[in-house]
Amino acid sequence: MDHVVSGVAKFQREVFPDKADSFRELATGQQPEVLFITCADSRIDPNLITQTEPGELFICRNAGNVVPPHSNQTGGMTASIEYAVAVLGVEHIIVCGHTDCGAMKGALNPQSLESLPHVREWLGHCRAAVEVVREQRGELGAEHLDCVTMENIALQMQHLRTHPTVAAKLAAGKVTLHGWLYNIGTGEVLRYDAESRAMVPLSEVDLPSGRSQGGSRAQA
């Protein structure tokens, strides 16, 4: 904990003064372009990965980068998505999973979560991803972790489309969905390709104006 407190002091002493003008602007509002949904895993730093500054990403984190399908039951993710899209007017939504994901390990082996009932129930939102891989590969084991992780990203993108505010903006061409997979060990980022239903390398050619996939605003 000492290094955390020391880090705050260093931020106030060395970092904040150099960005004081930006923080003064941010003190009265925000206009993020991107809603970044990712895992709560301590090894994931969205701003570091994307080299973005405060105010550029509206970040939602939870175990397994899960987006529960829309329902009449209010939850933190549902409210945050609604606010980001309807109020902040984000133009891009990224679902970013990662390698060696503990949540996906739990989804693969729900029996291991008997003592964690809330975690087990939460990861029920990932069950379809597991079943898709099971249908493709048969009996599942630890060697299928990456496949489940990738399928889960696609699944959570599907769940996003059930949220009324997201569905409306997609229909109007005002929001683009992106699925990313971050490799902790190599720094590589893959993106979900809707046509091939596979992960392909993310490169700068995918990014101009956010109009990858031939300009489609529906999926990337």
Q: What is the pLDDT of residue 207?
A: 56
pLDDT digits (tens, 9 = 90+) for 158-172: 999 999 999 999 999
Which domains occur in the chain, in start order? 1-29 (no CATH), 31-215 (3.40.1050.10)
Q: Is 193 a catalytic residue?
A: no
| Mean pLDDT of the region 93-119 | 97
Q: What is the pLDDT of residue 205?
A: 60
Q: Is 101 a catalytic residue?
A: yes
Q: How far is CA 53 from CA 33, 48, 50, 92, 170, in A?
A: 12, 9, 9, 16, 26
Question: Are the CB atoms for 96 and 46 separated by under 8 Å?
Answer: yes
Q: What is the pLDDT of residue 213?
A: 35
CA 33 – CA 29 distance, rounded (Å):
13
Q: Is 98 a catalytic residue?
A: yes
pLDDT at residue 210 tops 70: no
Angle between helices 164-171 and 76-86 (to 10 degrees): 30
Q: What is the pLDDT of residue 206?
A: 62
Query: Which of the following is catalytic: 101, 125, 147, 178?
Result: 101
pLDDT at residue 215 tops 60: no
pTM of the complete model: 0.91
pLDDT at residue 184 tops 90: yes
* Residues of the binding site for Zn(2+): 39, 41, 98, 101
Query: Which of the following is catalytic: 92, 98, 125, 178?
Result: 98
Spatial strand order in the sheet of 189-193? 57-62, 34-39, 92-98, 176-182, 189-193, 198-201
Q: What is the pLDDT of residue 156?
A: 98
Q: What is the pLDDT of residue 194?
A: 87
pLDDT at residue 140 tops 60: yes
Q: What is the pLDDT of residue 71?
A: 93
Question: Are the CB atoms for 67 and 128 separated by under 8 Å?
Answer: no
pLDDT at residue 208 tops 90: no
C-alpha count within 13 angstroms, C-beta hemisphere, residue 20: 5
Q: What is the pLDDT of residue 110?
A: 94
Rg (CA), the chain: 18
Average pLDDT of the chain is 92
